[in-house]
Amino acid sequence: MTTLQTDDFAVEGMTCGSCAGRVERALLDREDVAEAKVNLMAAKVRVTFAPETDVSSLFEEIRNIGYEMGPITSDRATSASEGLFGEETRRQRRTFVASAFFAAPLMVISMLAPHEPLWLAIQWVLSVFLVFVWGRQFHLIALQRVRLGQANMDTLVSISVLAAFFYSTWAAFDGRPVYFETAGMIIALILMGRYLETRAKDRASQAVAKLMELGFSSAVRVVREGQEVEVAQEDLTVGDLVVVLAGEKFPADGVITNGHSTVDESMLTGESLPVERTVGDAVYCGTINGTGRVVFRVTETGADTALSRIVAMVEEVQASKPPIQRLADRVSSVFVPISILIGIVTFVAWLVFGGDLWLAVRNGIAVLIIACPCALGLATPAAIMAGSGRGAELGVLFKNAEVFERTRVIDTVVFDKTGTLTRGEMTLTDVSAEDPDTFLRLVGSIEGATSHPIGRAVAEGARGRGVTIVSPEEVETAAGRGVTGVVDGVRVWVGKSDFLAEAGLETTNQQQEVMGTLEDQAKTVFVAGWEGQVRGVLAVSDSLRPTSGETVSRLRSMKIAVALITGDNARSASVVAGQLGIHDVKAGVLPGEKAQELTLMKDQGAVVGFVGDGINDAVALAAADLGIAIGTGTDVAVESGDVVLMSGDPLGVPTSLALARGTYRVIVGNLVWAFIYNVAAIPLAAAGILNPMVAAFAMAFSSVSVVTNSLRLRRFKALTAP
């Protein structure tokens, strides 16, 4: 099976939703392109294509329909304060200011100056500069579209402005009233709208720009041949030893080999408090070393770092489209030609029934200007860019745009217990055996060879009691039930009592009493044995996270039911559930059964979100209507989730749901505004109620209002415990 390739490319020349649709269709018409997603807001397209495809042929395909497509250059991301379009914003500002310099006197003269040749000539000269110098971008693109048999927003603007200018030129020679200010002000107002729109887009993209900037380090000190030398960040390789002083950023992902410090990881997790890091701990590119000098060994560089993967994930969701956008895309694709037809009908109707040529021209112009579907094209991507960017700042990553729609119907959230509502850091608390040292040597050696949290807790607990553990000769794990292996020639069984019973190792009444007592204390209890006998009982415990209770309370305030599912025994699960006030508890559930339980809940009418963090949760995360993965968990769990919480704080669950729902509300609000704006305004323009300049002002600010409305999401606050 051929592996497809996915890349992002910049696209220049798109001004509205119909442009975006045209670019997508041109790419999708190719047999070697499997998928194409245009992000009008970011002026990018994400293309999935066959690896043998000549990329230059894709560029040529788009050039043939009047747009420029090419690689994304690094200069698009200037700084976190400017967002991704700093240079474009500055260019638009210069253009608008220059047009305003001509439009202001033109407007004053048109209102105050007498209808005399000198003043008419001055108006004509000013309007020439506005229409053919500052407005030439509209005419050039419109001409290009005409040659290709197409039309877009620039076509509507160009037709309107040229109609007003040439009518006024004719009227000046015929002694009729002129309307040069109409042509000039339309250009100035639309340029103002584009400047404000680009500036707002910059602000919406600042979160991604900030993330990209965080990963940059100007100089890196590497230990080579016993000496510290400075190298460029891009020259780092896996295995390098890097020195990081207090206050400096980590230039790559790695593991500390020397030193101890506090590290500010807020850019990854959203948590402001620094965390302790010492030898053996992982550190990540872009995080800030707080207090001490450390040396770390590089494990990931460049695009493979956690920061780069986060940026890629945010860009992925911004490139995707939720189902609600499909209707807007269909409307935008036909809006421009329909608008031109309505404008022509309006012109003819006013000319035939009104008898006034200027009224016919004016009202036709108003229809064309007011009908520009810019707001429709920006409604969804603006909200997604702002919402996903704010989520990244808070340590909440959305995997695709559909999440924003799905969250609004979630009515039940099911938590896996360990590592989500609890800390997930097991500690060996109890050992009941005739010979504890021998017992812990054998059991600890087996458990130390596993990656399970309970296994690690037992091994560390054995070492803490002064017991030496060794590498087992053989280990075999039964997921969710236990583990067996050979140590010093002895076959050892560790796990649940029924797991050992199947191997012929039965617990005694005394051992069952000990197990019951420990389970009543909400501890995870299991047994171990060899040579036909259960030799002892062990217990580990895991404490609740400080914000678990507040998490449950917040979800209930959102009218979301909360349930608990765990592989632990019913007694342990019920104690934890009782502390949190959770009544729906499913205990003793094997990993493979979690997905079945979720499916059963869905069959009963629930719309289920599942929160998990371990390898055992991957199937359940995929089976849920919405999978929320704790980012501190395994890579498999993170890949399976629809939402990733980079922090282990369970309050991230209601925070992510609230942010996603808020983003969806903004998307709907933007689309409703855009639809109402065009549906209501076009008849007003056709009826002669809207002046063309008022229409230009309204059209310009429709796009600005959509983006500005989306920017409200940047003020979203993460939920915190009182």
Known catalytic residues are 416
Exposed/middle/buried for 549, CB within 10 Å: 0-12, 13-18, 19+?
Answer: middle
Return the C-alpha torsion angle 72, 77, 82, 84, nearest 10: 30
Amino acid occupying residue 571 = R
Q: What is the rounded distance in angstroms from the CA atom of residue 635 to the CA atom of residue 261?
A: 26
If you ran DSSP here, which 8-state letter would residue 504 be given?
T
CA distances to 53, 71, 201, 326 from 30, in Å: 10, 19, 31, 21
- List the alpha helices (DSSP H) in 482-547: 497-502, 509-520
Strand partners, 295: 243, 258
Residue 223 is inside which H or E element, if any?
A: strand 220-224
Return the C-alpha torsion angle 190, 195, 201, 206, nearest 10: 180
Q: Which residues contact 466 (CB under 8 A, 6 or more apart)?
A: none
Q: Which residues contact 118 (CB under 8 A, 6 or more apart)?
A: none
Q: Which residues contact 292 (CB under 8 A, 6 or more apart)?
A: 246, 259, 260, 261, 262
CA distances to 380, 629, 663 from 669, in Å: 10, 29, 10
Q: Which residues contact 143 (CB under 8 A, 6 or more apart)?
A: 158
Residue 705 is inside which H or E element, if any?
A: helix 692-711
CA distances to 78, 293, 301, 308, 322 from 238, in Å: 28, 20, 7, 16, 38
Q: What is the rounded distance in angstroms from the CA atom of residue 526 to the CA atom of residue 570?
A: 14
Q: What is the rounded distance in angstroms from the CA atom of residue 239 to the CA atom of residue 297?
A: 6
Q: What is the rounded distance in angstroms from the CA atom of residue 354 to the CA atom of residue 351?
A: 5
Q: What is the rounded distance in angstroms from the CA atom of residue 371 to the CA atom of residue 353?
A: 23
Locus of tokens 């171990």: 528
Strand partners, 270: none
Which regions of 411-550 does DSSP assign to beta strands (E)?
A: 412-416, 427-433, 474-478, 482-487, 490-495, 524-530, 533-541
Residue 261 is inside which H or E element, if any?
A: strand 261-264
The encoded tokens of residue 582 equal: 């959770």
Give, in degrees to the nearest 5, the angle at Cα 329 between 326 and 334: 135
- Starting from the edge strand earliest in sequence, which strands make up the sheet with 44-49, in order? 33-39, 44-49, 5-12, 68-71
274-294 exposure pattern, b = at least 16 Cβ within 10 A, e = fewer = beebeeebebbbbbbbbeeeb
Strand, helix or coil for residue 646 = coil
Q: At CB < 8 A and 24+ separation, what contacts does 162-166 make?
A: 162/131, 163/361, 163/364, 163/365, 164/361, 164/362, 164/365, 164/692, 165/127, 165/131
